[in-house]
Structure 1
Amino acid sequence: MGAGAPYGAGGQVRDPGGLRASLAGLTTRGRSFLAAGTAAAGCAYVLGQGQLLRVGLLLVVLPLICVLTLHRTRHRVTADRRLTPPRVPAGGEARVQLRLENVSRIPTGLLMLQDRVPYVLGPRPRFVLDRVEAGGRREVSYRVRSDLRGRYPLGPLQLRLTDPFGLVELTRSFSAYDTLTVVPRTEPLPPVRMTGEANGYGEGTRRSLALAGDDDVIPRTYRRGDDLRRVHWRSTARYGELMVRREETPQRSKATVLLDTRGGAYEGAGPDSAFEWAVSAAASTVLHVLEQGFSVRLLTDTGDSVPGEGAGGFSSGGQESAEAAGLMMDTLAVVGHSQGSGLARACEAVRGAGAGLGSGGDGLLVAFFGDLDDVQTEMAARMRQRSAGAVAFVLDSATWAGEPSRVEERLRRLRDAGWTALAVPPGAAFADLWRQAGNAPVSTGTTPGGLV
């Protein structure tokens, strides 16, 4: 449910049992009334005291009436939940609104609401409602916040009903729940010149089409509903029927964002760990290249791509790009360490003919690597061969631990293979590294590209 959406269907409370379960909700006071009433009725029968019998019956009937009333009332109380927004960045807040409605003809007694939330979102919210009149509504709200990305269930909502005398207390649960998605933090990236823009896309393409003139236009037969301003009169005279110009569709540049998720490639955990930095940077890159008009796919070391396998796994334009962005952000919200120890599958996905970066080695590859040994460095170097431009951000565990490392040797080998390779120091601002990558000298085998 997005912001401004109607309340979700909370439904009525579930009935875990019949009257027998409701009788189990008698409080100590209610059970004492029953015991005292039963004893008074027994004594009245033995002693022949009619007045005492009436008192005993009253003490017995009152708790039973309260049980029947609450048993019926909990069927006539409905609740809904509204989550705004359903997707927030790590550290952001979401608001949860609860609406309770009494659809019966009698008012309720004291009500206590408790919504179940994971401990990482904060303590369980509790609300006490004194009385809800017949047909009345009550709304309460609370906020949730998490510094850890992930998907967190909210609910089910628990409702505790009590009668005015405190004789019965029933706890019931609603069946509906919602899911809060906490996506990685992202930061805006500066537009810099990178390699990898496809030929035939952007401003240069429009100039080429304009210079080509009408002689290069491929017409087609007029169809009902076509704009008459697109009629190509020269072709119409040639073929003897109404012809219109085809709409030119520029080729979209492609970009692959590769995230190394190998468990052995990172050390440490928590919001400030190297792996969380890589996930956040990958999310920032995905959003940035989508905004620049690229077709994008998210790839991991397991070889799995997002948004899917269609069209090589790359996103499409228009509304589909927004949907692909949401899908990739949802994937990054829950991505964890893989069990793999190498980059072979990712290399196959990048170099494969069916999942390549485009014909003729066209496309941009942005990779976020953890620790690289000699074998994995060679594997990463081979990925560069099928892309027009490649940028690597290497997060070395020794560097993040403040210890001497061989990351410079790995970077040199990647640069020799044509990568623009940068080491990531602890706590570095990704926007600064992105700008540094754009200002770096063009690596061997690359050609200047467009604005990214």
Structure 2
Amino acid sequence: MRTALRGLTTRGRSFLAAGVTAALCAFAFGQAALFQVGVLLAALPLAAAGMLVRTRYRVASGRRLSPHRAAAGQEARVHLRLDNVSRVPTGLLLLEDKVPYVLGPRPRFVLDRVEPRGFREVSYRVRSDLRGRYPLGPLQLRLSDPFGMCELTRAFSAADVLTVVPQVQDLPAVRLPGESGGQGDSNTHTLALAGDDDVIPREYRQGDDLRRVHWRSTARYGELMVRREEQPLQARATVLLDTRETAHRGSGPASSFEWAVSCAASVAVDLVQRGYRTRLLTDTGFAVPATGAGGGGTTAAESVGLLLDALAVVEHSDGGTLARAEEVLRLGGEGLLVAVVGELDEEQAERLARLRRRTGGAVVLLLDTGTWAGLRHGLPDGAGERAAARVTRLRESGWTVLPVRAGDSLPALWRTADRTQNTTVPYRDEVGA
């Protein structure tokens, strides 16, 4: 009953106070009729609280997200289901789901009555322009009497998580540096070094080339056996994301850092869909293991999900160099390397140039972060020349350099990375524009 009294609403407390006041005035002035009115006013909220305390509703809830993983700026719908598992109908129910402020206001619903063994379904929409993992729930249920005198709040324990991932753009199909026939730079085969005794044959199937018949196995098993088809090794790729806070400009969704994260997500998804075993690496040395269709028993969709989940929570780092990423690439940096980097000084540009020696192909998207801060005319003297010199150094070391400015289209930039083209991407120095 103490819990019920704490749940009295403003209306219930007002009725109770009015009833007590009327009863006191009746004693003071000797008015029996006024005392009866006071008793009635005070009894109404107390009776409502007693009814709620004695109520034995048994309800269950469920939550479903559609989609479970949403892109930044994309709406997601949350479906709620409330089941009345008791044998009596419910009264007035007020539902409120707890959501972070960044996803919008807290949704509230009113359910008038749920029949025994019945259920009700409601839904609401959430949207966020910021990446991250946002908890949804727990669902709060408020019981109320028909007169609105008392409300009791109960909360379920179950909660879900909505993952808001970076925006992913569709990239055009291009032939990247170091790529050979669409299989990357190492287009070797699993049986290339196998001897005649190491071949695992299989039975002959209609349409097999007779030149692939393995006669020794045919004589052993008494039926035609052919050599197994050579399987190409899956090409590998690494997407390097520069998260150094000192290397980026701007804030919020329009910052150079958010553009770099979205670019890394788009490139990683494109490489996975093209059959690469793709690894995500940051300047801190944090790496998401190489995944891809068929790699480690994962499908392309699962691999994309792992990469996007990691990029959804990536944050600025307080480091100033790319040394840790260089150490990781030294241990296993074969294959294609795509780097998305911010502002580079001379030392970091030299480190990046050395990384090219350990890769089959290398593409760098070099962000002109000054354009994100609106510094077209305010760069220090000689800054444009130094930036152009770093671009030249990277190209001389074998990198395909794609300079990026605020407002550039990623698909258009990616198209210029095609190694079959004979054009050279110029460095655009517009300091004096």
TM-score (norm 1): 0.77
2:45, 2:81 → 1: CA distance? 29
Which residue type is aligned with residue 344 of structure 2?
Answer: L
Question: Quick check: 2:57–2:84 contact (8 Å CA) kept in 1?
Answer: no
- Could you tell me which residue of structure 2 aligns to residue 327 of structure 1? 306
In the TM superposition, what is the alpha-carbon distance from 1:36 to its structure 2 partner? 7.4
Displacement of 1:237 in angstroms is: 4.7
Q: Distance in 2 between matches of 1:182 and 1:199?
A: 35
1:235 paired residue number: 216
In the alignment, the residues of structure 2 paired with residue 257 and residue 101 of structure 1 have an alpha-carbon distance, to the nearest angstrom, of 47
> Partner of 1:23: helix, strand, or coil?
helix
Residue aligning to 2:415: 435
Which of 340, 349, 364 is the equivalent residue of 2:336? 364
Give yes or no for the alignment of 1:402 onto 2:376: yes
1:387 is aligned with what amino acid? T
Query: Structure 2: where are the runs of 5+ without partners?
Result: 425-433
Aligned positions of 1:339-418 closer than 5 A: 339-352=318-331, 355-357=332-334, 363-400=335-372, 401-403=375-377, 404=379, 405=384, 406-418=386-398
SS state at 1:26 partner: coil
- The answer for the alignment partner of 1:447 in structure 2 is none
* Distance (whole Å) between structure 1 residues aligned to residue 18 and residue 182 of structure 2: 91
Alignment partners' CA distance in 2, 1:240 and 1:77: 66
**Compared CA separation, residues 427 and 29, structure 1 to 2 (3 A):** closer
Q: Measured at CA, do residues 428 and 217 of structure 1 come closer, stay the same or move farther in structure 2, by a change above 3 Å?
A: farther
Q: CA deviation at 1:62?
A: 5.4
- Which segment is superposed worse, 21-30 or 186-195? 21-30
| Residues 199 and 435 of structure 1, relative CA distance in 2, 3 Å threshold | closer
Q: Which amino acid aligns with 1:326?
A: G
> Residues 185 and 80 (structure 1 numbering): CA distance in 2 closer, same or farther, change over 3 Å?
same
Aligned residues: 405
The alignment status of 1:97 with 2:69, answered yes or no, reads no
Q: TM-score, normalised by structure 2?
A: 0.81
Amino acid in structure 2 at the alignment position of 1:395: L
2:327 corresponds to which letter in structure 1?
Answer: E
Residues 273/61 of structure 1: CA separation in 2 closer, same or farther (3 Å cut): same
The answer on whether the counterparts of 2:175 and 2:182 sit within 8 Å (CA) in structure 1 is no
Conservation of the 8 A alpha-carbon contact between 1:160 and 1:169: yes
Tell me, in whole angstroms, the C-alpha distance in 2 between the residues paired with 1:392 and 1:341: 18
CA contact (8 A) 2:18 2:41 kept: yes
Mean CA deviation greater in 268-277 or 167-176:
167-176
- Counterpart amino acid of residue 396 in structure 1: D
In the superposition, relative to structure 1, how do residues 419 and 68 fare at CA in structure 2: closer, same or farther (>3 Å)?
Answer: same
Identical positions, percent: 56
Further displaced range: 22-31 or 56-65: 56-65
Amino acid at match of 2:64: R
2:171 equivalent to 1:189: yes
2 CA distance for matches of 1:63 and 1:263? 59
Structure 1: tracts of 5 or more residues without a match = 1-18, 358-362, 444-452
Alpha-carbon distance in 2 for matches of 1:393, 1:200: 21
